[in-house]
A = this chain, B = another copy of it.
Amino acid sequence: MNPNLANSVGIVAPQRMTFTEPLPLRSGRVLEQYELVYETYGTLNDAKDNAILICHALSGHHHAAGYHSETDIKPGWWNDCIGPGKAIDTNRFFVLSLNNLGGCHGSTGPTSINPETGKIWGPDFPVMAVRDWVKSQARLADALGIPSFLAVVGGSLGGMQALRWSIDYPERVRACAIIASAPKLTAQNIGFNEVARQAIINDPEFHEGHYIEHNAYPRQGLSLARMLGHITYLSDESMRNKFGRDLRSGTLSFDYDADFQVESYLRYQGEQFSANFDANTYLLMTKALDYFDPAADHDGDLARCLAQAKAKFLVVSFSTDWRFAPERSEEIVNALIHAQKDVTYLEVDAPQGHDAFLFPIAPYVNALAGFLRRNHDVAQQEAHHAR
């Protein structure tokens, strides 16, 4: 038996929900019908006030915790933080995690069949906005009988979804944890995303996104995109600690092979990722990141945009995260303060760069655990008084 199972939610099975009510999208297009794949951990209580929604980042998916079989050795992507006694405590909370629309892990996306044409969506799948995902998540909650979430939690692009929840569904989210995120991308962020997209689009195997019909795959382009992404997820410090300038063999090659450990590591990361991820989904996810800018509907005034929010907020940043630097989290915090919202902010000293949000770093997970528990206690007191 897998010894890791004991310290996790155990073996979990993805579930699937079909939606036939058309979903109007930010782009003006409409998704006539769709499926969402999700997992749940823990138990929804009778009051239905202990549900926590997990929103995933660019390359994430529904499988956030536990294992898929006895022999599975790779747990869900946030297994360090979700489980019995962990920060997101499944002994206490009912945790819902889904694959977003446009993803490539089971929910309707570019690799699905477009029912109108009978063909694979491919590049014709609608570009999604963060608000579209949030709307689809709300419908999933409806279908599961969750009137409102105790908390919506997400890191990076997931944090953008949590922020959007607080704006679009103020009555349906009690607490909102926005981790290693930003109120909108910088020009530099967009620039990196654009290089990644160009790497994919210019791969001759891309076939304008119709690679599946051509029995092709833009693997090199996707691999490059991931290599670049990976550098930006790590800090200079964490790369130095991991690799320094260590050579693969003792001497320089004086050719164009990989000389340094960091080179072969990045190549390996690119190859692994590109074997398991859909290129059209990658494009779609990066565009959703670029487009996110909730203040744009309010003349760029984020505080005004957040005026309608009712949640309590926890905002967390990491000292060496240069992709979504602490200053970007502080923009959210300052807007929340300006809008007179209840917000706790924590800048965690951590060497891991943007990736830090995935690690169970004590000050961070303790803050998250306390935040969720406090809000749960308040919810239960309110329920008690209402009775």
Contact = CB atoms under 8 A, between A and B. Distances in A.
A307 interface: no
A123 interface: yes
A223 B123 CA distance: 23
A259 B243 CA distance: 37
Interface of A (DSSP majority class): helix
Given A256-B283, A256-B287, A263 B191 contact: yes
B239 A188 contact: yes
B245 A187 contact: yes
A373 to B, nearest CB: 37
Nearest to A200: B256
Given A184-B245, A191-B266, A201-B256, A228 B227 contact: no
Contacts of A231: 188, 191-192, 195
A262 B190 contact: yes
Nearest to A204: B204
A258 interface: yes
A290 interface: yes
Given A254-B27, A266-B194, A293 B245 contact: yes
A240 B186 contact: yes
A127 to B, nearest CB: 4
A198 interface: yes
Most central of A191, A239, A322 by chain B CB within 10 Å: A191
Contacts of A127: 254-256
A198 B228 CA distance: 11
B195 A254 contact: no
Contacts of A255: 127
A105 to B, nearest CB: 21
A92 interface: no
A116 B267 CA distance: 35
Given A204-B204, A224-B199, A194 B252 contact: no
Interface string A282-310: 01000100110100000000000000000
Contacts of A28: 254
A260 B190 CA distance: 8
Stoichiometry, as copies per complex, reads: 2
A58 to B, nearest CB: 16
Interface size band for A = 35 or more
A236 B188 contact: yes
Contacts of A244: 187
A334 to B, nearest CB: 17
A126 interface: yes
A224 B227 contact: no
A187 B242 contact: yes
A197 interface: yes
A252 to B, nearest CB: 6
A141 to B, nearest CB: 26
Given A231-B195, A255-B127, A290-B259, A187 B240 contact: yes
Contacts of A293: 245
A220 interface: yes
27 contacts: A28-B254, A29-B254, A123-B256, A186-B240, A186-B245, A187-B242, A187-B243, A188-B231, A188-B236, A188-B239, A192-B231, A194-B227, A194-B258, A194-B262, A194-B267, A195-B231, A197-B256, A198-B223, A198-B227, A198-B267, A201-B256, A202-B220, A202-B224, A224-B224, A228-B228, A256-B287, A260-B290
Interface of A: 26-29, 123, 126-127, 184-188, 190-192, 194-195, 197-199, 201-202, 204, 220, 223-224, 227-228, 231, 234, 236, 239-240, 242-245, 252, 254-256, 258-263, 266-267, 270, 283, 287, 290-291, 293, 322
